[in-house]
Structure 1
């Protein structure tokens, strides 16, 4: 990963707090309503599901909102990704919390994940 690109900095608001502990759209009832991993918008804090997840809400938010920089919202991960340049990079520390709860299962939420969930994921 490369250091933070100064041209990307305007897309990152270190003070923006995460919108919650799970994908905002999936928790709001968007079908199918479960995710594999979570991504955080570095501009506004929106939490969405990753591109492996059936609904790909994080990338959708980036496109619709014009917020191109995502950060992993998984425990132990702090990488950033720019959806426009398709590059990973190191960025600043964002407002806490830094990740979803470590006791949250993967995939989640447990009561929404079908037994055959692997049939619905997108290859990474």
Structure 2
């Protein structure tokens, strides 16, 4: 089983913070650990990160949620 990169100690979307914006939920890139906001958020930084880097898998950073999303395959997995 692959190691899941942990949720950030400070639950923020750094790109939203820099813009002075808010977010709905956070996602953690499993390739590099980048934290970005979800597609329900105005800026969709997690998806933008995928398009810029092709890092395919993110996990939810929300407490109690244990799932991963693969952008490349458009698939959800629970763990």
TM over 0.5: yes
| Change beyond 3 A, Cα 1:75–1:17 | closer
Alignment partner for residue 39 of structure 2, among 27, 48, 51? 51
For residues 4-19 of structure 1, the aligned pairs below 5 Å read: 14=3, 16=5, 18=7
Q: What is the number of equivalent residue pairs in this alignment?
A: 78
Provide the alpha-carbon RMSD of the alignment: 2.1
Structure 2 match to 1:26: 16
Greater strand share, structure number: 2
For structure 2, the 5+ residue unaligned runs are: none
Q: Which residue does 1:69 correspond to in 2?
A: 57
CA distance in 1, matches of 2:7, 2:36: 10
User: How has the CA–CA distance of structure 1 residues 44 and 18 changed in structure 2, closer, same or farther, with 3 Å as cutoff?
Assistant: farther
- Aligned pair in 2 of structure 1 residues 72, 16: CA closer, same or farther (>3 Å)? closer
The Cα shift of 1:18 comes to 4.9
Query: Larger RCO: Structure 1 or Structure 2 (Cα < 8 Å, ≥ 6 residues apart)?
Result: 1
Question: Which residue of structure 1 aligns with residue 27 of structure 2?
Answer: 39
Q: Contact 1:24/1:46 (CA < 8 Å) preserved in 2?
A: no
Larger radius of gyration: 1
1:37–1:74 CA contact under 8 A, matched in 2? yes
Secondary structure, in 3 states, of the residue corresponding to 2:69?
strand
